[in-house]
Amino acid sequence: PMGVCPAATMSLLRDNFTGVLRPWARPEVLTCTSWGAPIIWDGTFDPDVVQKKAGQKNLTIGLTVFAIGRYLEKYLARFLETAEQHFMVGQRVVYYVFTERPAAVPRVALGPGRRLRVELVAREGRWQDVCMGRMRTLHAALGGRLGREASFVFCMDVDQHFSGAFGPEALAESVAQLHAWHYHWPRLLLPFERDGRSAAALAPGEGDFYYHAAVFGGSVAALRELTAHCAQGLRRDRARGLEARWHDESHLNKFFWLHKPAKVLSPEFCWSPEIGRRAEIRRPRLLWAPKEYHLLRD
């Protein structure tokens, strides 16, 4: 860990959403990447200022989530209910729920300026295919109504719930989430795909951070590129009989290596309670559910 890097100044000037970032407020953690993107930690922004600035821009923020098979009953209601309490409160929000069973989507009471759309998707065979199929489906959705009605979009896993304010401080042209289990690991040990035959492969020495596929976001244009890249990589690997180590997440990490994210979210934005208490994790925004794969996956 180290403090503010000089490039932070430039990136803060460029960042027209948060305006007032205070990277120096958290000297014990890394608050800026080597390419000048802010890493957002609790305390490095003023929530009121951020909210006011975003409000002036009259944005519509999309939140996509897939709930297929048993994930729907197990997670979707709590995900949406807690999003109503914490996700982009005060902004216009449109949820996109992708499911093979629209009728089973719970009716969650939505605040003013917030709506929910349900998109029918075919159920893929294996759970890996469900996860990986998301990139293709998202790409199509971003090229359709979602892309027309939202200015920024977050794409999230459903097996988590909001536990704190997740606001416009997280918005940027492209946004990556530091993985809670890996943010303090030596780069050499990060679980990137290393098999050179895979489209997701990173060579030794490559890779900045290990990002979590449970949360990523950005402008519609940036996400169109991201999802196209990942869907193509997944398709290419499959044609060669390959599957990257962490599926769509491996391809996402390759994309963010090639196209550096404009903003990085600290692990406070997507935390695993199983890790236990850490001094630098002040206020988690999203908490992972315990992994109960035996109940969820066939």
Q: Which residues bind ligand UDP (CB under 6 A)?
A: 65-69, 71, 127, 130-131, 157-159, 214, 291
Report the half-sphere exposure of 78 (CA within 13 A, side-chain side): 15
- Taking the C-alpha atoms of residue 18 and residue 47, their distance in angstroms, rounded to an integer, is 9
Q: Rounded CA gap, 55 and 47, in Å?
A: 12
Task: Identify which of residues 29 and 76 has a Cβ nearer to ligand UDP in the complex.
Answer: 76
The two three-digit tokens of residue 24, written as one number: 């120096």
The entry of ligand UDP, Mn ion, none near residue 50 (CB within 5 to 8 angstroms by kind) is: none
- Residues in CB range of 19: below 8 A, 6 or more apart: 49, 50, 53
192 binds, options ligand UDP, Mn ion, none, Cβ within 5 to 8 A by partner type: none
Comparison of 22 and 245: residue with beta carbon closer to Mn ion? 245
Least CB distance to ligand UDP at residue 66 (A): 4
Q: Residue with CB nearest ligand UDP?
A: 157
Taking the C-alpha atoms of residue 170 and residue 174, their distance in angstroms, rounded to an integer, is: 10
What is the DSSP secondary structure assignment for residue 102, as one 8-state letter? G
Residue at 195: amino acid letter: D
Per the structure block, which two tokens stand in for 39? 């890493």
Exposed / middle / buried, residue 276 (Cβ in 10 Å: 0-12, 13-18, 19+): exposed
Binding positions for Mn ion, rule: CB under 5 A: 157, 159
The SS3 of residue 39 is: strand
Q: Among ligand UDP, Mn ion, none, what binds residue 215 when CB lies within 5 to 8 Å by partner kind? A: none
CB 42 to Mn ion: min, Å: 22
Closest contact distance (angstroms) between CB of 185 and ligand UDP is 17
Looking at the Cβ atoms of 88 and 289, the one nearer to Mn ion is 289
Q: What is the number of the residue whose Cβ is closest to Mn ion? A: 157
CA separation for the pair 204, 206 (Å, rounded): 5
71 binds, among ligand UDP, Mn ion, none (CB under 5 to 8 A by kind): ligand UDP
CB of 83 to ligand UDP, least distance (A): 13
Residue with Cβ nearer ligand UDP (91 or 272): 272
